[in-house]
Amino acid sequence: MIKKIFKEKGLRMSHPRLLVFRELSNSKNPMSPQDLYQCLAEKERRIGLTSIYRCLDLFESLGIAFKIINGSRVKYKLCDIIEHHHHIVCKRCGHVAEVHFCDILDWSQRVIESTGYEVTDHQLHFYGFCKVCKGLRS
């Protein structure tokens, strides 16, 4: 999948990119750049933290990965779908669900009317409590 996306975007599938992608796709939980660095180092695949950051930035900009910001901690998860979509983040456990629909055309129209900009893209994240955490919230 990753190779196809890279090919479409005209990007080179470098060794670090492939390793970071593999590590993320093998992990059940979102990973921080430090987590990735450690996992790769344990497998004798030492990649500099800077290149890991660069890979993750790239994945995020391609819409392959989602950056979860929780205070000063940053983690990344791979997206299940490549098509345009949104995310909801649980404020308690940090779990992220993909929102497969996007219904903000009216809103875009209002942005265009009120600013005179041409809208090309948007980002929107939802925050709340997941099914498990909903009940535990006191």
The residues that touch Zn ion, with contacts defined as CB under 5 A, are 66, 79, 90, 92-93, 95, 98, 102, 130, 133
Nearer residue to Zn ion within complex by CB, 15 or 117: 117
Nearer residue to Zn ion within complex by CB, 49 or 93: 93
Minimum distance from CB of 15 to Zn ion (Å)? Answer: 25
Minimum distance from CB of 2 to Zn ion (Å)? Answer: 15
Nearer residue to Zn ion within complex by CB, 18 or 79: 79
Nearer residue to Zn ion within complex by CB, 49 or 132: 132
Which pair of structure tokens corresponds to residue 120? Answer: 């090309």
Judge whether 76 and 92 are in contact, CB under 8 Å. no
Which among 19, 16, 76, 4 is positioned nearest to 50, based on CA atoms? 16
Minimum distance from CB of 66 to Zn ion (Å)? Answer: 5
Give CA–CA dist 110/92, Å, rounded: 33
Minimum distance from CB of 99 to Zn ion (Å)? Answer: 8
- Return the amino acid letter for 99: V
Give CA–CA dist 45/40, Å, rounded: 5
Judge whether 60 and 66 are in contact, CB under 8 Å. yes
